[in-house]
């Protein structure tokens, strides 16, 4: 791959990875421990990722269980989950914290499906913006350096192929996540 195109490929890859990360945070009625990835717990005054201070497991399809390595952290973990506002209230039995995911109603499933499509559209916009930036930089390159119009057209065609590839990957991700949400 041309070095002038690689940087744009890397940006498009990051946009796609960002979409996948956002999809991990969309609750689909099943317990997904990735919903806790961004939660930080105050561990002796230092914000620490939840996974570093507790064992996170999924004992049932709609439940996440969090067992802190130090019992004194129960309150801090519970507080961090409440602050994160993930839409689920933690229950604390003195040893572990449980997050029980409620069954999704049909209306909520449809809302989530719309949200998934919107996130997908935002990712496509990001990909297209990267394509535009690439094409603009190629036009500047044509003015500044001695590069033929054919070479510029070739670079633009390569970026368009790359854009099409990422847009189709986004479409596939949207469809997969939508089906996951709408499946009861």
pLDDT in tens, 79-94: 888 888 777 888 888 8
Give phi and psi for 54, each to the nearest 5.
-155, 160
Q: How far apart are the first and last CA of the chain?
A: 44
H-helix or E-strand spanning residue 42: strand 40-43
Task: Show Cβ contacts of residue 136 under 8 Å, excluding neighbours closer than 6 positions.
Answer: none
Q: Measure the CA–CA gap between 51 and 3, rounded to whole angstroms.
A: 38
Q: Is the pTM of this model over 0.85?
A: no
pLDDT at 40 over 80: yes
Average of pLDDT values for 107-133? 91
pLDDT at 62 over 90: no
Structure tokens at 58: 């999924």
> Is residue 91 within 8 Å of 100, Cβ to Cβ?
yes
pLDDT in tens, 16-37: 999 888 887 776 667 778 888 8
**pLDDT band at residue 102 under the 50/70/90 scheme:** confident
Domain 33-100 has CATH 1.10.3720.10: no
Q: Give the whole-number percent of the chain exceeding pLDDT 70.
A: 97
> Residue 52's CB: how many other CB atoms inside 10 A?
10
Q: Specify the CATH class of 3-25+105-182 in words.
A: mainly alpha
Q: Tell me the domain boundaries of the chain.
A: 3-25+105-182, 33-100
């Amino acid at each position: 791959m041309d070095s002038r195109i690689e940087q744009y490929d890397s940006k498009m890859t990051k946009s796609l990875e960002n979409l996948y990360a956002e999809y991990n945070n969309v609750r689909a009625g099943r317990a997904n421990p990735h919903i806790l990835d961004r939660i930080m717990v105050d561990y002796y005054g230092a914000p620490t990722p939840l996974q570093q201070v507790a064992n996170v497991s999924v004992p049932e399809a709609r439940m996440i269980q969090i067992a802190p390595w130090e019992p004194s952290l129960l309150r801090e973990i519970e507080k961090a989950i409440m602050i994160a506002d993930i839409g689920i209230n933690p229950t604390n039995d003195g040893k572990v914290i449980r997050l029980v995911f409620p069954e999704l109603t049909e209306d909520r499933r449809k809302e989530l499906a719309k949200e998934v499509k919107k996130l997908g559209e935002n990712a496509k916009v990001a990909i297209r913006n990267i394509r535009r930036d690439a094409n603009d930089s190629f036009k500047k390159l044509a003015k500044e350096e001695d590069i033929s119009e054919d070479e510029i057209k070739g670079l633009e065609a390569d970026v368009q192929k790359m854009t099409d590839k990422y847009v189709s990957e986004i479409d596939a991700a949207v469809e997969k996540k939508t089906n996951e949400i709408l499946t009861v």
